[in-house]
Amino acid sequence: AWNTIVAQPWTIMSIGLRDWAHRS
């Protein structure tokens, strides 16, 4: 259960950080 709760926000953050890194 914890994996599901943690994985979703982490995936969104991961994509967000990658996008931010590309724009910088």
Q: What is the pLDDT of residues 1-24, one digit of tens each?
A: 677 777 788 888 899 899 998 888
3-state helix, strand, coil in the chain (%, to 5): 90, 0, 10
Say what the pLDDT of residue 1 is: 66
pTM of the model: 0.40
